[in-house]
C-alpha cells in the first residue's frame, strides 16, 4: 500500500513531468517539487528507475479513473439519446483535455525504461493499461449492442486515435477531427454509405539534407536510439556509442542534445513525407510486415516513428514535425488500403485504419513472439473486411 507521503510525491512528480517533460524529473527535483528531503525520495523509491515505475503506475491509475468518471457523467437516458458516435466523441474530447499529456507520458516512461532493470515491471503496467483501456471502451453502453468484433474495433480505434489527434495542438480543429473520425467509424461499422472526401494531393517532396558522413551517422544513431528508449533517454555519450564515434565528434556537430533531436526530427519528417510522395516503401501484403521485424519484435522504423510522434506532441519546437506526421498518417493509410484492394475509401478511412492499427500493434506485442504475426494478420484482415469489405 502506498503511503500518504509517497502518494504526495508521485502526485507532484506527475505534475512536474507533465509541465516540464520527463527529463526534468530527477530524485532531487522530485524532492523539491514535493517539499520533502532527498532522503525521503530514496526511502520510498530507492532509485530513479523505481520512481519512474511507481510514477507509471500512478499515472495509469489516474487516467483510468478519469475515463470512468467521464463515462459516469451519462445516465441511461443520455446514453440512449446521444448514440455511440456522440458519446465516444464527448468522452474523448474531455479525456484529452484532462489527461492527454498523461496518456502520452505513459508511452514516454515505458520507452525510457526499456533495457533497464525495471523494464519488466514497466511492461506489466503497460499491459494492464492497454487491457483496461480496451475493456473501458468496449463496456460503454452505447457500444454494448455491437457484436464482439464490432466492440473490439470501436475500442481499438478510440484508444489508437489518441496520439494521432493529439498531433493537432489547436483544440478546435482537434475536436472537429475527433468527431469526423468517430462518425466515419460509426458509418463503416453500420455499413452505411459514406460520401468520400475528394482525393488529397500528396505533400511536396522534401530535399534530403546533405550532411557529412559523421553527422549523418549521428542522426541515424539518434533515430535508432529514440525507437529503443525514447527521446528523453538520449545523451551525447549514448548517441556517440551507437554511432561508433567519439563524444567529441557529436559535440562538435551538435553542441546541445536539442540540436541533435531537431535535426533527427527533420530527417524523420523527410523520410515519412517522401515515402508517401514517391511510393518508395512497397505496400506490404500483410500487417505483420509493417509492424514486426524478423525476430517478431517491433520494427525499428515503427518504433522510431512512434517515439518522434510522442515527442512532437509534447515539445512545442517540433510543431512542424507534428503537422507533417498528422498529414502523412492519413495519406499513408489510404495508400495502404488501396494497395490491399479497398479503393472506395478516402483519407478519413486511412486515419480510422491508422488509429485501429496503433492499438492492434500494441495488442500483438502482448502476445508471445511466435504468435504475433498470425495475430496481426488474422485480426487485421477480419477488421478490414468488416470496415471496408
The residues, ordered by sequence, that sit 6+ positions from 153 with a Cβ below 8 Å of its Cβ are: 185, 189, 356, 383, 386, 387
Domain of residue 21, CATH code = 1.10.357.10
Confidence of residue 287 (pLDDT cuts 50, 70, 90): confident
pLDDT at 1 over 80: no
In the block, cell 500512478 appears at: 58
- Of 145, 171, 189, the one marking the end of a domain is 145
Q: What integer best gives the mean pLDDT of the chain?
A: 90
Residue 197 DSSP one-character state = P
Confidence of residue 277 (pLDDT cuts 50, 70, 90): low
Answer yes or no: do 83 and 232 share one domain.
no
Q: Find the range with the poorest average confidence among 227-231, 333-337, 369-373.
A: 333-337
- Of 104, 123, 145, the one marking the end of a domain is 145
Answer yes or no: do 361 and 238 share one domain.
yes
Residue ranges making up the domain that contains 20? 4-145
pLDDT in tens, 102-129: 999 999 999 999 989 999 999 999 999 9
Q: What percent of the chain has pLDDT over 90?
A: 67
Q: Please calculate the CA angle 220-225-229 and round it to the nearest 5 degrees.
A: 160
Answer yes or no: do 35 and 133 share one domain.
yes
CA dist 329 and 179 (Å) reads 17
pLDDT in tens, 373-382: 999 999 999 9
In a domain, 174, yes or no: no
**For residues 365 and 298, is the Cβ–Cβ distance under 8 A?**
yes
Answer yes or no: do 132 and 219 share one domain.
no
**For residues 49 and 27, is the Cβ–Cβ distance under 8 A?**
no
pLDDT in tens, 79-96: 888 888 999 999 999 999
Say how many domains are in the chain: 2
Answer yes or no: do 117 and 229 share one domain.
no
Q: What is the mean pLDDT of residues 328-337?
A: 82
Amino acid at each position: 500500500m502506498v503511503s500518504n507521503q509517497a502518494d504526495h510525491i508521485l502526485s507532484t512528480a506527475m505534475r512536474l513531468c507533465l509541465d516540464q517533460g520527463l527529463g526534468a524529473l530527477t530524485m532531487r527535483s522530485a524532492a523539491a517539487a514535493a517539499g520533502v528531503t532527498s532522503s525521503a525520495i530514496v526511502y520510498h523509491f530507492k532509485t530513479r528507475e523505481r520512481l519512474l515505475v511507481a510514477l507509471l503506475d500512478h499515472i495509469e491509475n489516474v487516467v483510468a479513473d478519469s475515463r470512468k468518471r467521464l463515462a459516469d457523467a451519462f445516465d441511461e437516458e443520455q446514453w440512449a439519446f446521444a448514440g455511440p458516435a456522440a458519446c465516444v466523441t464527448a468522452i474523448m474530447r474531455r479525456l484529452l483535455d484532462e489527461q492527454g499529456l498523461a496518456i502520452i507520458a505513459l508511452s514516454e516512461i515505458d520507452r525510457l525504461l526499456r533495457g533497464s532493470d525495471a523494464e519488466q515491471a514497466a511492461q506489466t503496467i503497460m499491459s494492464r493499461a492497454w487491457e483496461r483501456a480496451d475493456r473501458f471502451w468496449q463496456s460503454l453502453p452505447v457500444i454494448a449492442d455491437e457484436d464482439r468484433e464490432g466492440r473490439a474495433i470501436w475500442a481499438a480505434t478510440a484508444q489508437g486515435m489518441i496520439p494521432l489527434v493529439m498531433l493537432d495542438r489547436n483544440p478546435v480543429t482537434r475536436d472537429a477531427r475527433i468527431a469526423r473520425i468517430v462518425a466515419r467509424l460509426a458509418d463503416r461499422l453500420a455499413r452505411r454509405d459514406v460520401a468520400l472526401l475528394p482525393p488529397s494531393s500528396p505533400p511536396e517532396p522534401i530535399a534530403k539534407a546533405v550532411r557529412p558522413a559523421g553527422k549523418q551517422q549521428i542522426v541515424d544513431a539518434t533515430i535508432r536510439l529514440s525507437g529503443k528508449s525514447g527521446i528523453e533517454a538520449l545523451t551525447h555519450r549514448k548517441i556517440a556509442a551507437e554511432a561508433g564515434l567519439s563524444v567529441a565528434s557529436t559535440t562538435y556537430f551538435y553542441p546541445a542534445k536539442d540540436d541533435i533531436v531537431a535535426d533527427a526530427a527533420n530527417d524523420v519528417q523527410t523520410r515519412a513525407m517522401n515515402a508517401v510522395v514517391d511510393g518508395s516503401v512497397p505496400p506490404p501484403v500483410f500487417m505483420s510486415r509493417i509492424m514486426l521485424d524478423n525476430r517478431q519484435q517491433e520494427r525499428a522504423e515503427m518504433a522510431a516513428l512512434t517515439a518522434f510522434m510522442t515527442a512532437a506532441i509534447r515539445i512545442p519546437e517540433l510543431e512542424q514535425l507534428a503537422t507533417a506526421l498528422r498529414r502523412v498518417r492519413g495519406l499513408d493509410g489510404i495508400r495502404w488500403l488501396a494497395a490491399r484492394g479497398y479503393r472506395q475509401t478516402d483519407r478519413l478511412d486511412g486515419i480510422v485504419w491508422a488509429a485501429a492499427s496503433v492499438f492492434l500493434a500494441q495488442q500483438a506485442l502482448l502476445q508471445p513472439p511466435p504468435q504475433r504475426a498470425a495475430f496481426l494478420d488474422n485480426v487485421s484482415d477480419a477488421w478490414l473486411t468488416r470496415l471496408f469489405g
